[in-house]
Structure 1
Amino acid sequence: MDVRVAWDGAVTTDTETDVFEAHRPVLLGVAYRMLGRVADAEDIVQEAWLRWSGADRGEVREPRAYLVRVTTRLAIDRLRQVKARNEAYVGPWLPEPYVTDFGDTVPDTAERAVLADSVSLAVLVVLESLSPLERAVFVLREAFGYPYADIAVMLDRGEPAVRQLAARARKHVDERRPRYEVDPGRRRDLTERFLAAAAEGDLEGLLELLAPDVRLVADSGGKSRAPLRILDTADKVGRFLIGAAQKGVPDPSFRFIELNGGPAIVALSAGTPDSVFQLDIYEGRIQAVYIMRNPDKLVSLAGE
């Protein structure tokens, strides 16, 4: 067995590293759904690696279960810290954009739909209102399908308590989860029409796409120009979008990318991500417009 120095300086074996890397996507998925920030999720996975590299292998019978348990507990601790940070946030808060291209790793359509829904902006925003334990149970059960007995072990709770947490979290999410179109083709088509109408200053065409009670949520963290309150009604949202498009940015360009399980628009200024737009669409109309302009949340998109 070869021995080498890992990227964090720890001495590990190829087998230990390979096992961890095989589970890294799942660990990152759990941490991101818990925290809503790519940077925080990556930090948690790095901490999980340190725990893994120093673990007594004789005590680890199931590496995946061990790693998910460690990641979940670390994410709960971090979530309690960042909730205070989010309460002091300037303007509306949205999760950091997360590139989701499942490729051939998730071939089943139903499974892809579940994973996409569990990482959607609409669901992640609702999850922000759950307690850390409720959020952990919801993510592990609804997104990754873990049995209640396994979740109970991971969280060091009794199974009846875990079932109660799951029921409470599911009820809360179901009551507040916005309805939206899940068909990727229809979402992509309306997203393209939305971009064309806004870029061309076509207010009438844009109003035809917007639901009467559409909401616009913009996250800038106070670091870029954006509304500090949620806008509602088609007229207010439409006029804001047309006005923003007319002001423009230097050397603008646009590209489509899959973020948080659905199509999104990345607006670039001189090749650098400036804004991200994503839409909630239901019955052929845009129900919500999400705009992310906090430059700290766009760093991970620079190389996409």
Structure 2
Amino acid sequence: MKREITDTIRDIDEREWSTLVGNDHIERSHAWYRTVEDSGMRKMHYVVVKEKGKVQAATCCYPLTEKMYIEMPFLEVRSPLGTSLAFFSQTPEHTDTLLKGLKEICRKEQAKGILIFDLRKEEFTAIRRQVKGFIDFQEQDNTYIDLNFTDFDDYLNSLDEESWRSARMTLNRAKRWKIKTVCTNEFSTWKAVAQRLQKYTCEYHNDYKWLLTEQFYEALEKNLKENAELLLFFKDDIPILFAVSLNTPDSSLYKFMGSDSDYRKYQAYFLLYYEGIKRAIERGQKRIYYGPTTY
């Protein structure tokens, strides 16, 4: 068993990485990590366990300052700019080796602790047994809808009366107000628009941790153009809301929404949910994720 620490996903064979993490989540993919690295938005570190020259376990982390009573530097173990698992271990021995690598990085980064998110049950149990001072906590679930529908009308007809009426009202208003929708993977073309809309939302919440740079959109187009999509809504040719979706054959994940609050009355935020569901059903996807929301 050999442990390696590197600062780029490009040092890890893409096929071996995919075999380890699976192909069900774009946020775990080699291409997603390349996108984040190329964007320069996170300082990435990786710990890899190899046996006979092949990757058998791995984890990724990055320094991040969390605001508690004071600002505290931590090492966060999670898909960068995502909400997905980033700790992949098959045995207690692998887990122990990965943890030793994380502790080494933690010392180098002078972090106060390690935050490990979205652990699977077996990895959670193994870490809890091996780490002193381990504290667990529950995050909000990743909201999703299963799409067992023949078309969008079939989805609408599955809703209870109140939800059906609300959906119809939103869709009818969008038609009356002539809200236009654009779906594209030409991220470089729309990068300034998307960043401006997201910045409005970040300013409203006074939280800029997830504000994407224009360089991120360029990297997304370079590395994930066939699996990512930008959904934009316009009123009188003025962009009022956007979101990014990441797509596999079976699922769609919506992320990084941003809107112009001056156009709040047009309810494009709710229209986004329905348009996302409609597009996912048309693509034959079986599930759509909206992240940790209460929708």
Given the two structures, how large is their TM-score scaled by the length of structure 1? 0.32
Which has a greater percent of strand? 2
TM-score (norm 2): 0.32
